[in-house]
Amino acid sequence: MSLAIDAGPTDVPLLDETIGANLDRIVAAHGDGDALISRHQGIRWTYAEFGERVDRLALGLLGLGLEPGDRVGLWSPNYAEWTLLQYATAQIGVVLVNVNPSYRTHELSYALQQSGSRMLFAAPSFKSSDYMDMVEQITPDVPGLERAVFFWEDDWDEIVAGTGGVLPDVLADRKAALRPDDPINIQYTSGTTGFPKGATLTHRNILNNGYFVARGQGFTAADRLCIPVPFYHCFGMVMGNLGCTTHGATMVIPSDAFDPAHVLETVQAERCTALYGVPTMFIAELGLPDFERYDLSSLRTGVMAGSPCPVEVMKACVDRMHMAEVTICYGMTETSPVSTQTLLDDSLHHRTATVGRAHPHVEIRVADPATGETLARGETGEFCTRGYSVMQGYWNDADRTAEAIDADDWMHTGDLAVMAEDGYVNIVGRIKDMVIRGGENIYPREIEEFLYTHPDVADVQGIGVPDPKYGEELMVWVKLRPGATVDEEGLRDFCRGKIAHFKVPRYVKLVDEFPMTVTGKVQKYLMRERSIAELGLAPAADTA
């Protein structure tokens, strides 16, 4: 048995340029092609128009006195304006600080203070959140924040018009002075304990990751990508936006926040060739009562990522959504984000049962969580990765950076993985999610996959809850399909005799929804907290 270590291909060189230089090159080559379509805003820009708007905004930002390395917050759902700011800040070397649209005042204040942001750009509101009021509330607590600018207000209109008196030569000089290894983006990872950490990413990190993710889907300038995933996260701004612009493809925004009907309507109307989403998004799209009325025949490829994909959902995307070349990606914010991806011509097994193999210019390995030694292929351990994609570090947090990136530059992900003999990787869970029941290791992902085969089950998530006898017991939260008749005991009966007795869930809870982040990731720690309270397991939790 060989060691669980592998490296991606290096035949295609890394892009050795800044985001701004790359965009300028693509605009020159594909000026007449569609760059960005925002369906909910009625916006359609060619690459020539997009490049001109980005440069005008960059001039406006220079007029505000922003210097290379300054931090600027961006708090907004998916609008064309988000994309303009993404590229305009990159053009002038300003570090864009992505702020989660679901943040409340405490989290907003923390992100702006911790990053040392000089300015904040924001939408006026989102859903029930009045951003303007919330910014007013936190301003006294963030003394370093010089100014807040809201989209579509007068001061925004002036800045985006680039009428601040800065000459184009100044912008050209600023662009020329930037380097690919300059930091350009801070993304706060949603920690389940403690404060979020600001992953600091460079031009080289995210430009290349977007380029190679799209290349892995066979992108050309003819492709049109529907992007329902949020821009504030790597999935949207790197794999989506930068994936498109590095190939001259079209960014298509269906709505400000995810809506399954808007996604399918957009795919149909814009003849999108690719679609992104986390598994829960695809489940929602496939579950629409009028799903069959949408013409999705233009779809060819896309990415499913963000959390492990149920096999049955993947098959449905291939069979019912025409995504014969859909790819699975795996990664994390700290690695720009993608470390592995399936290939277009992979077997159905590889595209449904693995997260692919090492990405170009990336090394991966599976290590013993206790010793750090590389394990043999076929053994379960922690997934580690290194290469151009690994972040510079957590912003102003050397201690937590050292905990994540070891002395040999390996990023430790906290994910449990198995590498097969052919180099393909399967993610079997989080180290902290593994359930240890009386000395037996239970990986919730395995039980989730099994329960997906029940015809009444639409979605399922497994967690560990404390138990005074065994230390932990397995619990599953289950969403049923419309019209389903199975109950909790029926689901346990379905398991008996088919999986080991210790893997049969002790507790089954039928739910309408799971607690989710805005990116569509299930928050298992909240599930655990609620379950402990509902089941009266607090005493066991105290002794576990």
Q: What are 59-90's pLDDT values in tens digits?
A: 999 999 999 999 999 999 999 999 999 999 99
For position 446, what pLDDT does the model report? 84
For position 193, what pLDDT does the model report? 45
Q: How confident is the model at residue 437 (pLDDT cuts 50, 70, 90)?
A: confident
Mean pLDDT within 406-432: 93
Mean pLDDT within 488-513: 93
Tens digits of residue pLDDT in 247-271: 999 999 999 999 999 999 999 999 9
Please say whether the beta carbons of 227 and 241 come within 8 A: yes
For position 110, what pLDDT does the model report? 92
**378 φ/ψ angles, rounded to the nearest 5 degrees:** 100, -15
Angle between helices 47-63 and 168-177 (to 10 degrees): 90
Between residues 520 and 268, the one the model is more confident about: 268
Q: How confident is the model at residue 543 (pLDDT cuts 50, 70, 90)?
A: low
For position 310, what pLDDT does the model report? 76
For position 233, what pLDDT does the model report? 92
Tens digits of residue pLDDT in 318-350: 999 999 999 999 999 999 999 999 999 998 888
User: b/e string for 435-457 if b means 16 or more Cβ within 10 A?
Assistant: bebeeeebbbbebbbbbeebebb
Distance CA 221, CA 245 (A): 9
**Domains, the chain, ordered by start:** 435-543 (3.30.300.30)
Please name the helix (run of DSSP H) or strand (run of DSSP E) that holds residue 121, with its range, or none. Answer: strand 119-122
pLDDT at 192 over 70: no
Encoded amino acid at 59, one letter: L
Between residues 113 and 102, the one the model is more confident about: 113
- The mean of the pLDDT values for the chain is 94
Q: For residue 243, give both structure tokens.
A: 């994936």
User: b/e string for 263-289 if b means 16 or more Cβ within 10 A?
Assistant: bbebbbebebbbbbbbbbbbbbbbeee
Residues 6+ apart with CB under 8 A from 532: 465, 466, 538, 541
Q: How confident is the model at residue 190 (pLDDT cuts 50, 70, 90)?
A: low
Residues in the chain, how many? Answer: 544
Angle between helices 168-177 and 19-30 (to 10 degrees): 120
